Structure 1
Amino acid sequence: MNKEQNQQCKYIIHSYATAAAAGNCVPVPGLGIATDVATMTLMCMQLSAVFGSNINDDVAKGLAIVALKQTTLKQPIKVITKELSKLAPFLGQLVAPAISVSMLETAGWNLANELHRKSLKRK
């Protein structure tokens, strides 16, 4: 990944992770997962454009779900904590967004690296 692509990915990933954090402030268990999937889908479409690809919504959603699933399997305690923290008033609005940012950052960079590898194979 060249420096320009890295900068674009950084901006995209940070922006969408922040958006997901905002959606995870709502103290409703389960809503955070839906927010994360929707945010990752949009992030995936943006990241693919960085590497000269154009994917549709269905493919982006599939990639987003796979990326979140891999992140969840690596960090199951974080996911459980994120959703259960929403049951505690005020604490949930602090913990859930922080965990969501961490998860989306990790999943976003994993996805960016995978899209980069695939773009190299196409060339």
Structure 2
Amino acid sequence: MTEDQESKCHYIIHSHAVAAAAGNAVPVPGLGIAADMVTMTSMTMSLCAVFGGSLTQEAAKALAIAAIKNTMLKQPIKTLTKELSKLIPGLGQIVAPSISVVMLESAGWVLAKELEQKFSNA
């Protein structure tokens, strides 16, 4: 990954993680996962463009689902804590967005590396 690509990925991943955090601040269990999916789909399409590729929205959604699923499976306690914290007034609006940022950052960088490999071989 070139320095320019890494800089663009950094911006894309961080800005999408912040957007997901905003969606996770709403104290409704389950809504955070929907916010994460929409954000990850958009992030996937943006990251794809960094490496000169293009994906349909459905393909981006499939990659996003796989990335989120892998991240959730690796960090099940964080996922459960994120959703259950929303049941506690006040605490959920702090805990859920924080965990969402960590999970999306992790999934975003994994996805960026996968897309780099996919489109550098193309």
Mapped partners of 1:70, 1:2: distance in 2: 26
Work out whether 1:121 is the aligned partner of 2:116: no
Q: Deviations over 1:29-75 (max 9, x none)?
A: 00000000000000000000000011111001000000000000110
Percent of residue pairs bearing the same amino acid type: 63
Runs of 4+ in 1 over 4 A off after TM superposition: none
For structure 1, the residue ranges without an aligned partner over 5 or more in a row are: none
Shift in Å, 1:82: 0.1
Alpha-carbon distance in structure 2 between the residues aligned to 1:119 and 1:40: 19
Corresponding position of 1:92? 92
Question: What's the CA shift for 1:121?
Answer: 1.2
Residue identity opposite 1:63 in structure 2 = L
In structure 2, what is the equivalent of residue 105 of structure 1? 105
For 2:118 and 2:46, locate their aligned partners in 1 and report how far apart those are by CA, in whole Å: 15
Given that residues 27 and 92 in structure 2 are in contact (C-alpha distance below 8 angstroms), is that contact kept between their aligned partners in structure 1? yes
Cα-to-partner distance string for 1:79-107 (whole Å, 9 max, x where unaligned): 00000000000000000000000000000
Deviation, structure 1 residue 119: 1.4
For 1:120 and 1:22, the matched residues in 2 are separated by 33
- SS at 2:54's partner residue? coil
3-state SS in 2 of match to 1:86: helix
The one-letter amino acid paired with 1:100 is: S
Give the whole-Å Cα distance in 1 for the aligned partners of 2:69 and 2:77: 13
Aligned length: 122
TM-score normalised according to structure 2 size: 0.99
| Distance in 1, Cα, partners of 2:93 & 2:36 | 15
SS in 2 for 1:117: helix
Q: What TM-score do the two structures reach when normalised by structure 1?
A: 0.98
Residue in 2 that maps onto 1:34: 34
Compute the RMSD of aligned alpha carbons.
0.4
- Show the counterpart of 1:68: 68
Code of the aligned partner of 1:6:
E
- Contact 2:51 2:120 survives alignment (8 Å): no
Gapped runs of 5+ residues in structure 2? none
